[in-house]
Amino acid sequence: ENAAPIFQHLVRILRGSNDEAKAAAADITWHLASYKQLVAVVQDSGAIPALVELLRSGNGDVKEKVSGAIAQFSYNKSGRVALADSGVIPLLIQMLEDESQELRENAAEALVNFSEDPSLGDRVSCVLDSPLFQDTQDRLMQIRASDARLDSSLRLLSIEHLTLDPSLS
């Protein structure tokens, strides 16, 4: 219930003039973007256009934090659509050539997520041969496979623990 006012305040900071505050607000947005239930609140708050504008014109630290938030939002279907509609894809493609490694990696991560979306994949087809894109895609596939194995192991462990622990009977 507090998410809407929090994001409205973050958007005011993102649109403000203090670069340090913008970087902090973008960092907070990055962390909150992992909560899927907040994507609609983020979209309604106007945060995505503010983030995209900062990606265009912010300083290095702000852009790095913003690119991380955008990469995080790109894991969610509605987040990807909102980002694509805001014109972020060409900016991310340009960032693959940026001198900041973090910026390049965040851009590649978001572009991989866009490429896996059947409705948006054609918008990033021009970067599919990029070595950074391919490396990021491989790394994300390994992470996802590892996560799937971990989930499976945890489920198995929980089942075995329940059947072997007499105190739970």
Give residue 50's pLDDT band: very low, low, confident or very high (50, 70, 90).
Answer: very high
Residue-wise pLDDT for 122-153, tens only, equals 888 777 777 777 887 787 778 777 867 777 77
Q: Maximum CA pair distance of the chain?
A: 62
Is the pTM higher than 0.75? yes
What pLDDT does 121 receive? 79
What pLDDT does 71 receive? 95
Residue-wise pLDDT for 61-101, tens only, equals 999 999 999 999 999 998 999 999 999 999 999 998 889 98
What pLDDT does 163 receive? 61
- Which residue pairs, CB below 8 angstroms and at least 24 apart, start in 156-159? none
Average pLDDT over the chain, rounded to an integer = 86
Instruction: Encode burial over 99-113: b for 16+ CB neighbours within 10 A, e otherwise.
Output: eeeebbbbbbbbbbb
Quote the CA–CA distance of 43 and 57 in Å, as a whole number.
20
